[in-house]
C-alpha cells in the first residue's frame, strides 16, 4: 500500500471514531450545537490559510461549506435516535448515491451498480429488522448521505483550480458562520443558548478532538492525499468507515450488532465496494 492510500485509510479510521463521540455528545447537545462548536474550533485551526483567498475560492468554498454543513448536522441529529454503527452504515450509502447523481451529468449505470444498489437496500432492510430503525433518525442520516454525495461531486468538479489549504479553510469558515447563525436563530425564544456552556462541559475534550483532528486535520489531509489517488480507489478505502465505526462503537459504547444486522451491515460494505468495480470494455478485433 502506497503512502497516499495509507493516509486515506488513516483518515477513514479517524472518521470512524467520530460516530461514538457524536452519539455520546448527543445526550446533552443537539446535532446543530455539536456541529457549530466543532466548526468553530476547526475555523480557528485553519485561520492562517484564510488570508488573500481569491474570490472564486470564496464562492466555491461557500457552496461546499453549505453542503458539508447539512451533511454534518443531519448526521449528528440522526445520532440522537439511532446507534453509531447504524448511522455509519447508512452514511456509507453516499458512495452509491454519487454515481446515481452522476446520471444528471451524462453518466451511466452499469449492471454492477444496479446490483450493488439492490444489495445495499437489502442490507439496510436487514439492519432495520433488528429494531433499531427510527424514522427521524434514519431519514436525517440518509439526508446526510445525500448531502455528502453532492459534496463529493462538487468537490471533484471544482477543487482542481484552487489551493487545497485555502479551499479547505474557506469551507470550514463558512461552515462555522452558517452554523453559528443557524444556532442563533434556533435559540430565539428559549434558554438553549444560556445553558449551552453547562451542557457542553462534559464533552469538551470530544468536541476539541472533533474540531481539531476530525474536521480541520482530516479535511486537509483528504485534500492532500486525493491529489494522487483516483476517486474509485479512494471510495473503496472510505467504504471501511462503517467497519471502523462499528468497532469503536463496540469498544467505547458497548454497542452490539445482532447476527442479522451484522449480515446486513456486511452487505452494505460489499455493495459499496462492488459499486466501484468498473465494467470491462470489450476490445475491438
Q: Are 206 and 21 in contact (CB under 8 A)?
A: yes
Q: What are the strands, taking DSSP E only, across the chain?
A: none
Q: Has residue 283 got a pLDDT over 70?
A: no
Share of the chain above pLDDT 70, in %: 82
Residue 266 has what pLDDT? 82
Residue 161 exposure: Cα atoms within 13 Å on the Cβ side = 11
226 phi and psi angles, rounded to 5 deg: -80, 0
Sequence-distant (6+) residues with CB within 8 A of 29 are 37, 196, 199, 200, 203
- Residue 107: pLDDT band with limits 50, 70, 90: low
Q: Has residue 105 got a pLDDT over 80?
A: no
Where exactly are the structural domains of the chain? 3-274
Average pLDDT in the 37-49 region? 92
Mean pLDDT score of the chain, rounded to an integer?
80
Per the structure block, which three cell numbers stand in for 208?
476539541
Per the structure block, which three cell numbers stand in for 144?
446526510
C-alpha span between 30 and 152 (Å, rounded) = 26
- Residue 230: pLDDT band with limits 50, 70, 90: low
Buried b (16+ CB within 10 A) or exposed e, 71-83: bbbbbbbbbbbbb
Structure-model confidence comparison of residues 262 and 50, the more confident one: 50
Q: Has residue 46 got a pLDDT over 90?
A: yes
Torsion angle of the four alpha carbons 181, 200, 38, 67, in this order, in degrees rounded to the nearest 10? -50
Q: Are 268 and 276 in contact (CB under 8 A)?
A: no
Q: Has residue 238 got a pLDDT over 80?
A: no
Q: Has residue 68 got a pLDDT over 70?
A: yes
pLDDT in tens, 256-282: 767 777 787 788 778 777 766 766 555
pLDDT in tens, 131-157: 567 888 889 999 999 998 888 788 777
Residue 280 has what pLDDT? 58
Amino acid at each position: 500500500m502506497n503512502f497516499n492510500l495509507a493516509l486515506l485509510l488513516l483518515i477513514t479510521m479517524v472518521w470512524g471514531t467520530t460516530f461514538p463521540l457524536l452519539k455520546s455528545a448527543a445526550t446533552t447537545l443537539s446535532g446543530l450545537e455539536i456541529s457549530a462548536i466543532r466548526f468553530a474550533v476547526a475555523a480557528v485551526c485553519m485561520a492562517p490559510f484564510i488570508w488573500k483567498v481569491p474570490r472564486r475560492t470564496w464562492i466555491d468554498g461557500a457552496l461546499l461549506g453549505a453542503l458539508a454543513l447539512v451533511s454534518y448536522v443531519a448526521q449528528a441529529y440522526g445520532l440522537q435516535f439511532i446507534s453509531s454503527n447504524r448511522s455509519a452504515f447508512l452514511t456509507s450509502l453516499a458512495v452509491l448515491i454519487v454515481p446515481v447523481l452522476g446520471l444528471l451529468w451524462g453518466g451511466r449505470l452499469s449492471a454492477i451498480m444496479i446490483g450493488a444498489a439492490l444489495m445495499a437496500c437489502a442490507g439496510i432492510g436487514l439492519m432495520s429488522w433488528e429494531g433499531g430503525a427510527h424514522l427521524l433518525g434514519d431519514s436525517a442520516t440518509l439526508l446526510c448521505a445525500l448531502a455528502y454525495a453532492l459534496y463529493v461531486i462538487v468537490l471533484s468538479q471544482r477543487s482542481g483550480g484552487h489551493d487545497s489549504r485555502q479551499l479547505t479553510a474557506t469551507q470550514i469558515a463558512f461552515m462555522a458562520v452558517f452554523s453559528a447563525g443557524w444556532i442563533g436563530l434556533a435559540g430565539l425564544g428559549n434558554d438553549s443558548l444560556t445553558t449551552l456552556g453547562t451542557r457542553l462541559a462534559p464533552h469538551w475534550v470530544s468536541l476539541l478532538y472533533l474540531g481539531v483532528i476530525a474536521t480541520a486535520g482530516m479535511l486537509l489531509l483528504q485534500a492532500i492525499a486525493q491529489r494522487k489517488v483516483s476517486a474509485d480507489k479512494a471510495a473503496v478505502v472510505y467504504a471501511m468507515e462503517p467497519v471502523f465505526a462499528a468497532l469503536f462503537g463496540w469498544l467505547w459504547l458497548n454497542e452490539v450488532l445482532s447476527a442479522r444486522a451484522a449480515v446486513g451491515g456486511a452487505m452494505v460494505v460489499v455493495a459499496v465496494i462492488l459499486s466501484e468495480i468498473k465494467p470491462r470494455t470489450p476490445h475491438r478485433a
